[in-house]
Amino acid sequence: MLTDDVLEYIDRSVLCWLATVDPEACPNVSPKEIFAAFDQQTLVIANIASPVSISNIRANPKVCVSFIDVFSQKGYKLLGVAEVVERGDPRFPTFEAPLFDITKGAFRILSIIAVQVSKVEPIVAPSYRLVPGTTEASQIESAMRTYGVSPRKMQ
């Protein structure tokens, strides 16, 4: 399910966006900074300060997680079912390990959102399909101009 390409995008993404729905069917999208692939089917997300996301998952565990590379303007949308894994759960330390590698203990992880991925869909900027000649290189160049940045020089 989580192919090498999906795993690469997870690793290079700075944020992911977790979409949940509350009991009144009102959607909620929340950025998450600490997340990692746990295995080929599971994405783990640290709950550092996410009371609304946690409450929504307990009411309706269906979620969508998306992440993109802002320069290439490509990424993935993961659909699945989430579970809140509390600190007292015997699985917590195992799920926390890849998240701790990211935080180095800088944040207290209150609980973990474990998403069992059931569907993966690519996210691609419309320019790739609608603007003739659009390439990944041209998208990256355009984004770098827009953001006022340039590639880091390798030493």
What is the CATH classification number for the domain harbouring 90? Answer: 2.30.110.10
pLDDT of residue 155: 60
pLDDT of residue 40: 95
41: number of Cβ within 10 Å: 13
Question: Which amino acid, residue 134?
Answer: T
- Same domain? 79 vs 153: no
Q: Mean pLDDT throughout 76-92?
A: 97
- Indicate whether 154 pLDDT > 90: no
Helix, coil or strand: residue 88: coil
Q: Mean pLDDT throughout 51-70?
A: 96
- Same domain? 51 vs 73: yes
- Indicate whether 32 pLDDT > 90: yes
DSSP-based helix, strand, coil % in the chain, nearest 5: 30, 35, 35
- Same domain? 155 vs 81: no
- Same domain? 100 vs 138: no
- Same domain? 10 vs 79: yes
- Same domain? 135 vs 72: no
- Same domain? 86 vs 137: no
- Indicate whether 152 pLDDT > 80: no
Residue corresponding to tokens 């307990």? 58
- Indicate whether 104 pLDDT > 80: yes
Domain that residue 148 falls in: 126-155
Walk across the sheet containing 16-21 and list its strands: 27-32, 16-21, 62-69, 74-86, 111-124, 42-47, 35-37
Helix, coil or strand: residue 11: helix
45 falls in which pLDDT band (50, 70, 90)? very high
Q: How many domains does the chain have?
A: 2
pLDDT of residue 105: 87
- Same domain? 66 vs 140: no
- Indicate whether 131 pLDDT > 90: yes
User: Which of 25-39, 67-81, 135-149 shows the lowest mean pLDDT across its residues?
Assistant: 135-149
The average confidence (pLDDT) of the chain is 94
- Indicate whether 17 pLDDT > 90: yes
Maximum average pLDDT range among 61-65, 133-137, 138-142, 149-153: 61-65
- Same domain? 63 vs 108: yes
- Same domain? 117 vs 134: no
pLDDT of residue 114: 98
pLDDT of residue 93: 97
Question: Which residues, including other chains, have CB under 8 Å from residue 148's CB and lie 6 or more apart?
Answer: none
